[in-house]
Structure 1
Amino acid sequence: MNIKILIADDNSFIREGMKIILSTYGEFEVLATVDDGKEAVEYCQNHHVDIALLDVRMPHMNGVEATKVLMETTKTKPMILTTFDDDEYIMDAIKNGAKGYLLKNTDPERIRDAIKSVYFGNTVMQDVVLEKVKSKITGNTKPESKVDASLFTEREMDIMTLIAKGYSNKAISKELFISEGTVANYITSILGKTGLEHRTQIAIYFLTGSVD
């Protein structure tokens, strides 16, 4: 396995530091480092890049915007590396298809594991990021759906409601008195109908009515 990586960050210390760290792992090959989103997109459009690690705040094109373009025009999987004060970008990054959302102060081994997980088709969101998403989309009020209920079964709507409230599959199974496997099957059906990729996007879709 040789995972090809691009690093985009306008802070040269972080950019080069991340390159040094990731290059110590034999399964990674850091192809390039760039300092803005536009350069990241152009590089990925012209080279085979498996994973693009993107800072949020960058000149010319930020990481959230770059994520959208990468998802639309390349096979590169974008991952956001950010700081706590960038949390207002979380929702847009997820909507745009980010495959991972990690804090820059994450332990290198966890970043390594996250990159490998995304490479193999998973979506990785740190717990602290998920908590921010939940608080933003639910607050202290009952989630109100914006979706067209006619597109879904009653049970699918029940499950989307609970996902939007932050319930895990296990918690949903207990709430609805069905098995976790059945919950997973319903989620697969919802993802198929909406074209979404993971449960965090389902929560956003449920509350906004939009898959964009």
Structure 2
Amino acid sequence: MSIRVVVADDQELVRSGFTMILEAQPDIEVVAEAGDGAEAVAAVCRHTPDVLLLDIRMPVMDGLEAARRVCARSSCKVVMLTTFDLDEYVYDALYAGASGFLLKDVRRDDLVHAVRVVAGGDSLLAPTITRRLVADIVRRRREEAATGATPDRLDALTAREVEILRMLARGLSNAEIATTLFVSEHTVKTHVSNVLSKLGLRDRVQAVICAYETGLVAPGAPL
């Protein structure tokens, strides 16, 4: 079964380039392209894709607002596209529910890998830059005192689930967690699913943010 993708970028050459790369893969199908945020939201509603590649800066409706609407209304995974590795909008995009982000100069293989990873329910947490962004998100939110998050949120978790959440925040994959805990990867997936469900989180990215917000993992601490 193919991974269904919508590519949204206001630059036609960028959009076409990503589409060509993805369409060359036997397991990926680009079902639509969009030139602005409003078109992207409409395309998701019309085609129900698995993944939306979404440029942050676009006309009519910017990528951030489009991400909020898509994440609130569907199970489509959103990957933000940005020209700058520290684009301020990335912070809010992750809070809106995006599963990660890619630089527009991403390598062909990394683009394909990212789509497959996100479609499989994982997130783009491995790159150092993403981990730094997550830490910066929490630091900024705490300074603004805008989150209202407290450690009490973790009371619903078992000791093992808290341990799993801590490992997620350190950027470990399911396979790496399984090896560390001497359990099967299926068991880890079950624990991760339970963590997301109990905390009311959309995906692993938001789980990592929660770990920082609640103080389970301290910003700037070794990962």
TM interval, shorter chain, is: 0.7 to 0.9
Distance 2:135 2:91 in 1: 11
Matches within 5 A, 1:57-76: 57-76=57-76
| Contact 1:8–1:54 (Cα < 8 Å) also in 2 | yes
TM-score (norm 1): 0.73
- Secondary structure at 1:39 match in 2: helix
Code of the residue aligned with 2:60 in structure 1: it is H
**Which of 121, 127, 150 is the equivalent residue of 1:146?**
150
For residues 191 and 108 of structure 1, do their structure 2 counterparts lie closer, same or farther at Cα, with a shift above 3 Å needed? same
**Which of 178, 181, 198 is the equivalent residue of 1:179?**
181
Instruction: Give the CA deviation at 1:62.
Output: 1.9
In the alignment, what sits opposite 2:9? 9
- Secondary structure at 1:101 match in 2: strand
Instruction: Give the CA deviation at 1:87.
Output: 2.9
Instruction: Give the CA deviation at 1:38.
Output: 0.8
Matches within 5 A, 1:1-212: 1-137=1-137, 146-148=150-152, 151-152=155-156, 155=159, 159=163, 162=166, 166=170, 168=172, 179=181, 181=183, 184=188, 188-208=193-213
Code of the residue aligned with 1:179 in structure 2: it is L
Q: CA RMSD in A?
A: 3.5
Aligned residues: 199
| Contact 1:56–1:86 (Cα < 8 Å) also in 2 | no
Distance 2:173 2:119 in 1: 24
Distance 2:97 2:162 in 1: 24
Q: Show CA shifts across 1:67-92 (max 9, x none).
A: 22112223432221222255322232
Gaps of 5+ in 2: 140-148, 215-223
- Secondary structure at 1:84 match in 2: coil
Q: Show CA shifts across 1:94-134 (max 9, x none).
A: 22222332222221112112212222222223513323224
| Contact 1:67–1:93 (Cα < 8 Å) also in 2 | yes
- Secondary structure at 1:53 match in 2: strand
| Contact 2:10–2:34 (Cα < 8 Å) also in 1 | yes
| Contact 2:8–2:40 (Cα < 8 Å) also in 1 | yes
Instruction: Give the CA deviation at 1:35.
Output: 1.2
Distance 1:71 1:149 in 2: 22
Instruction: Give the CA deviation at 1:58.
Output: 0.9
Instruction: Give the CA deviation at 1:19.
Output: 1.7
After superposing the two structures, state which structure 1 stretch, 54-63 or 156-165, moved more. 156-165
Instruction: Give the CA deviation at 1:187.
Output: 5.2
TM-score (norm 2): 0.70
Instruction: Give the CA deviation at 1:188.
Output: 4.9
